[in-house]
Amino acid sequence: MELKLYNTMTKTKEKFEPLKSGEVKMYVCGMTVYDNAHLGHARAYTSFDVLFRFLQYLGYRVTYVRNVTDIDDKIINRAREQIQDFSTNPNKSCEILSTRFYKEFLDDMKALNLLPASIEPKATMHIKEIIDMIEGLINKGYAYNVDGNVYFNITKFLNYGKLSGRNIEDTELHSRIDQDANKKNPLDFALWKKHVNDDPYWESPFGKGRPGWHIECSAMSMKYLGEEFDIHGGGQDLIFPHHENEIAQSAAYSGKGFARYWIHNGFITVNHEKMSKSLKNFKTIRELTAVYNPLNIKFYLLSTHYRSPLDFNDNLIKNCAEGLFKIENTLSRAKLVLEESSSIDNTKKLPADFIDAMCDDINTPKALSVIFNECTGLNKILEGNLPEKEAIKEKYSLIINMLQILGLEPEIEKMHVVPKKKWAGANEAIIALMKLKPQKLNEDQISRLVSARGMAKIEKNFTLADEIRNYLKTLNIEIRDKADACHWHYVE
């Protein structure tokens, strides 16, 4: 197995070789928490979640750092609008606002079944590290103080523009940078912003102020991953100026190379324009999960290679929902057969063609096609006159393992199956179960209640069937009726 990743720095797919054998250190730029996350954020963090999972499958010990930008102009402006008495305590007001949206962001990530990062540092908790780094850059001659504003002098860093493929004479670059007559060069970027009006601030050797955006990521990545690490990721919109500036200030500070592999995901587009809050054409994750199953959204995000643009389209999500339904239906049929046989194979085997797809720059569309092919094979076995349980178990396990790598674990894996042929009518003992305290019920007793409900429906005793369903709802248990079984599982 040879993992190859596309490196934005070299513009080629490269064999992945971590700095330290068996360990991977990865940093991904996280949310600026002034509003809810949208589908573009979902794509970025889903892409790196899959990479995180696959690296772990390959046997690496992965330290995954995803920062939280909890202080910047957008947060300040939103807090000023929404938090009463902002001017009395601007620091606390920004903390209240950013904490609220950070919690909602974590809820969104959980809904999409994304693994938590190993470390999620907040910028405001690392002011000391940021100040220390700025002082180091000033002492080395890479930064200068102008009346309390500290800027990085890009002319001092010879490789500026290498990541984005641009040069400092590029007029397009100049158009994207705030102009300030006090700068030595129009492209010089802020490391520390002088305190003005009622903005939040921290004390520093340069005077009261707050950090610039770019320095936050450099300080936090170096604290948790060191001066050199393996992977730095984010959306393509971060290549310039954010990642370009990170490289300049980090390499200038340490004298080392900073990140080795730069990985960037493509945009979500709407009518072929980037989905963004500035264009007001975005859909938040919670808006979408109110309409679609989160796994269907995730399936849609993985249906296109992470570096390619992906146009937002309701029909595409519906098509992906149908695809995921077919997979789950196949697994449901298999689980029904396996319910009476030995337990599912828990080894983490994967088909060779799935591994090949994932090793080829995390090619999730190709990986999904392997899953569909395995489902086709499993269906053929299930449709045979004498389906072999060992063959079913092997295929079932392979499919589940592949879905887990993609973070698409189907609900069928959480479900208990009560086959129709095992249904039994209600008796006094069954009725008595509904009088027990919830914590007294075990899984076998719950299955007996589900069985009694199924039989009650056959006998057209809908009053009892509804009574059992309603009772199980109080235990946070959901029932799904199938033609040949009832499935039940706990819901959060």
State residue 439's pLDDT score.
62
Q: Cβ contacts of residue 63 below 8 Å, gap of 6+?
A: 23, 24, 25, 26, 118, 119, 224, 225
Task: Detail the DSSP E strand segments found in 387-484.
Answer: 416-419, 477-481
pTM confidence score: 0.87
Task: Express each pLDDT in 208-237 by its tens digit.
Answer: 999 999 999 999 999 999 999 999 999 999
Q: pLDDT at residue 440 above 70?
A: no
Domain boundaries, the chain: 16-265, 310-414, 417-490
Query: What value does the mean pLDDT take over residues 91-95?
Result: 98
Are domains 16-265 and 310-414 of this chain identical in fold? no
Task: Express each pLDDT in 130-166 by its tens digit.
Answer: 999 999 999 999 999 999 999 999 999 999 999 999 8
Please say whether the beta carbons of 12 and 50 come within 8 A. Answer: no
Q: Cβ contacts of residue 349 below 8 Å, gap of 6+?
A: 397, 398, 401
What distance in Å separates the CA atoms of residue 420 and residue 454, rounded to the nearest whole number? 8
Topology given in CATH for the domain delimited by 310-414: Four Helix Bundle (Hemerythrin (Met), subunit A) (1.20.120)
Query: What value does the mean pLDDT take over residues 90-111?
Result: 98
Lowest average pLDDT, out of 117-121, 174-178, 257-261, goes to 174-178
Q: pLDDT at residue 80 above 70?
A: yes
Q: What is the CATH number of domain 16-265?
A: 3.40.50.620
Please say whether the beta carbons of 69 and 216 come within 8 A. Answer: yes
Task: Express each pLDDT in 347-396 by its tens digit.
Answer: 679 999 999 999 999 999 999 999 999 999 999 999 887 778 899 999 99
What's the chain's Rg over C-alpha atoms?
27
Residue 23's beta-bridge partner residues?
Answer: 20, 61
Nearest Cα residue to 23 out of 226, 257, 263, 230: 230
More confident residue, 277 or 64: 64
What distance in Å separates the CA atoms of residue 295 and residue 316, rounded to the nearest whole number? 14
Q: Cβ contacts of residue 313 below 8 Å, gap of 6+?
A: none
What distance in Å separates the CA atoms of residue 38 and residue 114, rounded to the nearest whole number? 15
Q: Please state, rounded to an integer, the average pLDDT across all residues of the chain.
A: 91
More confident residue, 285 or 471: 285
Please say whether the beta carbons of 290 and 260 come within 8 A. Answer: no
Q: Which residues of 137-176 are buried (b: 16+ CB within 10 A; e: fewer)?
A: bbeeebbbbeeebbbbbbebbeebbebbebeeeeeebeee
